[in-house]
Structure 1
């Protein structure tokens, strides 16, 4: 690892040995040769996914590095004075999209408590976010808070480590917490707030009611436009963009850089704003901002009248994004040609409507043409297919 050579130079008695600690026999051989007086287990692997999408391989990779290795160290060491497990705050607070990682760290916390109940040395430290980057946090912006946990410097982290070793508690949260008022505070963090700040998000229902009232006064297109701006703005904040202009309405979330963690964060933000019960798979079920805005409108105001043309165009954008995955390379050439012809015909039809074939003013024609008339025209051109 980077810095390993310098460590050996500064600490001559240091030895660096490669061993798969999750391999019980390999670890036993290592411990038979080197009899440690202390153990600090700091390994970890990330392989994020929501619960419904976790695979056996993802569970195995994460649990093996954390839980299996820790259990082997517990079974194969004796006579030691210190037994420290590097856990994570994700096992205490829960972490969106990291079910396997949270479970692995919760196991470490339980193992420490079990050892202490057996009068064995043990501490599990549930670390928060360190400012110093690592392979595990390379994809995170370590300057911002995550789920109520603020990044901390190496100096702060090492001070917490020293303080933890002076206590008798088997499981501690070693993290810098964000206790500022939040619209969606963790229930665990909310109990730590002073009484006059525990209801910081208490006006959220009022804001939600105001938003609904504001949108309810608009027609379907106005509602969709307002919700699309909301989705784009929240998406930009999740991705750390300064403006929603970087978030295209028809661009798939996966192309914008979304993963399971950011998908859950967007879901949580929209849930706080709308007070809707939204699934963890929200972004995957509605893969573009336009499709998601349409879904929110339906949830907030019901299906109501027949969807507008804009709604159907959003559905078309959604269908194209899902079917192509952002590329037409996988589509049959004949199918691509058929789609192209149909889209060109639809565009030509819209041009005819705007020109006004009967000589009427375009504004007058649009005012008098109903959705049903336009849909009937589309059906006559394209049929039921």
Structure 2
């Protein structure tokens, strides 16, 4: 092995773990990926919202959410539902979330995530061109539609105050929105205006995971994958990790990366630090389209209902809801019924081939919505986790940042951004 090249063991074969393996391998490291599932991408990456929202990265924690907290606790049909539990970890996360609602915190985290999002856009597009990945990837932009005059006016003012990083975003009238997306004409009665973001992308995250696994497994990459392997903890020698404890044989390497989403919380605690990662449950529907379907040709975000629509070839992915405090990974029928009714209201002429495929998943979120990317208190243990609802969007930039920090290279983002403090 060349000087500076190491054997790195990546925990997690979702989109963040696979991207991490990809960039570490490009740096010349020998890489092993470990995952508890039988195949790549079977948890949060499986059927997420499919939008790559590089410029729309505002954190969930924001001063504007504070007046909405009572409704989140009471209204079971609210886009965000907060279920209080007798769980100290939830209370600690909730208090940290409230603290992160300060304007200065929101400004800093939005700036950092925008920087990471724009880096991710450039890296992912370069990867698609270089590797020829086929995952229903499209660069047709995203349309934000507003049904509240005050929210629309605020969004317009904020856009006008931003700098050149907005990438050609433009304000649209109601008429402009309906002309851009004729599929909205039948159900878009309440739309008052919109914002078009031309530099946003969409794609099928699971398809990309499958293709990356196939590519990385083969020569010349020769990344080793160990599926059906649950990582239970670490073996230490002083402040160094010397091996992984699994439900099978112990595994060892020169360096280790925690990149298994929600599972990073347990492993972080086992290593002596608290990543503050909590599950945010969300839902998606995937519709097969027909020649008669009137579906959006590009991504659409219904800001009022907080539902996103992404076109994936002859399919339409719809995703929404945030349930905090629900740790059951199964589908909640009431939430799915609500999501279906929202689709029917906005797209009454969708005319799909059949009932949609239903999915529920847990997004691994931190209180201020920023992931942890970099070193941990253990000298050869690293982390790339806690991306919340933006794992797919930020995966490429996060993996490149992790590889840069592991190599000791200058990084493309702020020096202390996303670091564990």
Greater percentage in helix: 1
- Between 1 and 2, higher relative CO (CA 8 Å, sep ≥ 6) is seen in 2
Larger radius of gyration: 1
TM-score (norm 2): 0.19
